[in-house]
């Protein structure tokens, strides 16, 4: 990289970047995207001994990223997709270890309550996957649900499953902590680079792909590296339209925080778990850290440009959320709207991630397609990508995560993506 490339230092709630971090002129790996997938991939590669440049167009935790916002659910039930149960459980161990290492509380272990109107193949598959991995959970019938959670109107539900080791993560804070761990690593082999990356000029897939030598930044600088990982979330289909334009679809998602009654804590994380309504496709996160009660509709919103899109909420989704709040949480009927956040999902047609080598470049890897549920998986995804690049015999990439997997054919909608 030439000498005009800019570096950044910025603060998080716990510490700041060291602007005197050692600069390596030619990193082993450049990771583009400092969100959940990119940051954790960079950290795992760094801890394997690689020299790393972590690149992002904005500071880690910025509001345009899917890894922004104050909270993201961590849960383990994935129905007939047990690989994500395994990865989420594996990630939990890393989340716990890192918050101890960094002396920063990242996980709020309030549990996650899945509410079901009837037994189904999905619920049975969740139970089987949790049992196989010995992930603790409790199953409550309708009467026991009402006894345990009087603050929730439970009419119509047949039973609930409480994942006791689930909860939510402090997403923006965690994203910044991971990026800081890369930039301030004791080895001096990591750095953060502030810069917008231009799309590499990719040829058609080749039986003998050649390596990518360098990437270009919007300011005219270049960055060369031995290998590249693009983990750019909703920007991936813009950078690689030929391969991901029909596989990853960014959608606008409205999130609302409603004020809870003053002086009582029925809807706080100390007294209520994350709420997941399978049939209605709503999830709620209890009030915490001075914020309100979070209500989010999980169904796909409209297509969204993560860079230029206006982050204003939909009156229709707000009204739908108010009605749901009044129906399920009677004490919050008419609660004031305290805060609005607009994020995006990177939807794939089947909610599977995308992890694969670029078919035109021998040293480029792509990791994305979080579909809204990817944040919790960040530590496991980073570990998996690092193994693909460094292990002599890496774990097999599931076929459903390959580039050639299912693409959008219309207005496909997937559910339970958080």
Structure confidence by residue, pLDDT tens digits, 75-134: 999 999 999 999 999 999 999 999 999 999 999 999 999 999 999 999 999 999 999 999
Please return the burial class of 53, using the count of CB atoms within 10 Å of its CB with bins 0-12, 13-18 and 19+.
Answer: buried
Structure confidence by residue, pLDDT tens digits, 239-293: 999 999 989 999 999 999 999 999 989 999 999 999 999 999 999 999 999 999 9
Q: Which of 318, 336, 327, 344 is nearest to 275 (CA)?
A: 327
Given this model, what pLDDT does residue 23 score?
38
Q: Which of 95, 118, 107, 246 is nearest to 178 (CA)?
A: 95
Structure confidence by residue, pLDDT tens digits, 370-401: 988 999 999 999 999 999 999 999 999 999 99
Given this model, what pLDDT does residue 297 score?
96
Given this model, what pLDDT does residue 17 score?
36
**Who contacts 179 (Cβ-Cβ below 8 Å, separation ≥6)?**
34, 39, 54, 56, 60, 61, 192
Structure confidence by residue, pLDDT tens digits, 139-148: 999 999 999 9
Strands 227-230 and 29-32: parallel
Given this model, what pLDDT does residue 416 score?
59
**Who contacts 213 (Cβ-Cβ below 8 Å, separation ≥6)?**
224
d(C-alpha 414, C-alpha 238), whole Å: 21
Mean pLDDT of the region 402-416: 73
pLDDT category of residue 43 using cuts at 50, 70 and 90:
very high
Please give the class, per CATH, of domain 108-169+249-345: alpha beta
Q: Please give the model's pTM, rounded to 2 decimal places.
A: 0.92
For the chain, what are the domain ranges? 29-66+172-248+350-401, 108-169+249-345
d(C-alpha 51, C-alpha 223), whole Å: 13
Cα–Cα distances in angstroms (integers) from residue 8 to residues 1, 13, 176, 342, in the given order: 15, 17, 13, 26
pLDDT category of residue 67 using cuts at 50, 70 and 90:
confident
**Who contacts 204 (Cβ-Cβ below 8 Å, separation ≥6)?**
360
**Who contacts 260 (Cβ-Cβ below 8 Å, separation ≥6)?**
266, 267, 268, 287, 292, 293, 332, 335
Site of tokens 């391969």: 243
Given this model, what pLDDT does residue 3 score?
32
Given this model, what pLDDT does residue 407 score?
84
* Mean pLDDT of all residues belonging to the chain: 91
CATH 3.30.465.10, domain 29-66+172-248+350-401, yes or no: no
């Amino acid at each position: 990289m030439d000498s005009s490339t800019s570096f950044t230092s910025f603060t998080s709630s716990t510490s700041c970047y060291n602007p005197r971090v050692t600069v390596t002129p030619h990193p082993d790996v450049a990771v583009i995207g400092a969100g959940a997938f990119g940051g954790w991939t960079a950290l795992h590669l760094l801890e394997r001994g690689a020299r790393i440049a972590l690149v992002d167009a904005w500071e880690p935790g910025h509001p345009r990223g899917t890894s922004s916002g104050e909270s993201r659910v961590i849960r383990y039930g994935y129905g007939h997709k047990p690989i994500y149960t395994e990865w989420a459980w594996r990630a939990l161990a890393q989340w716990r270890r890192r918050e101890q290492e960094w002396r920063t509380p990242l996980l709020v272990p309030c549990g996650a309550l899945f509410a079901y109107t009837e037994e189904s193949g999905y619920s049975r598959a969740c139970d089987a996957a949790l049992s196989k991995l010995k992930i603790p959970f409790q199953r409550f019938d309708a009467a026991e649900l009402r006894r345990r959670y009087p603050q929730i109107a439970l009419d119509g539900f047949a039973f609930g499953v409480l994942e006791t080791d689930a909860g939510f993560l402090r997403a923006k804070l965690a994203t910044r902590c991971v990026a800081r761990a890369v930039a301030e690593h004791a080895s001096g082999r990591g750095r953060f680079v502030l810069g917008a990356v231009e799309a590499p000029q990719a040829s058609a897939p080749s039986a003998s792909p050649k390596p990518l030598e360098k990437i270009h930044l919007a300011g005219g600088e270049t960055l060369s590296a031995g290998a590249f990982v693009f983990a750019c979330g909703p920007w991936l289909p813009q950078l690689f339209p030929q391969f991901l334009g029909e596989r990853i679809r960014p959608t606008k998602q409205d999130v609302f925080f409603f004020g809870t009654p003053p002086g009582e804590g029925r809807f706080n994380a100390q007294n209520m778990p994350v709420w997941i309504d399978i049939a209605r496709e709503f999830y709620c996160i209890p009030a915490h850290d001075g914020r309100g009660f979070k209500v989010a509709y999980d169904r796909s919103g409209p297509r969204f440009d993560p860079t230029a899109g206006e982050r204003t909420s939909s009156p229709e989704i707000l009204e739908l959320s108010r009605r749901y709040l009044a129906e399920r949480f009677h004490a919050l009927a008419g609660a004031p709207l305290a805060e609005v956040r607009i994020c995006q999902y990177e939807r794939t047609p089947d909610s599977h991630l995308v992890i694969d080598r670029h078919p035109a470049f021998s040293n480029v890897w792509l990791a994305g397609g979080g579909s809204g549920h990817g944040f919790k998986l960040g530590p496991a995804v980073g570990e998996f990508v690092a193994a693909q690049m460094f292990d002599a015999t890496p774990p097999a990439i599931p076929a459903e995560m390959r580039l050639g997997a299912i693409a959008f054919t219309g207005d496909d909608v997937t559910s339970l993506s958080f």
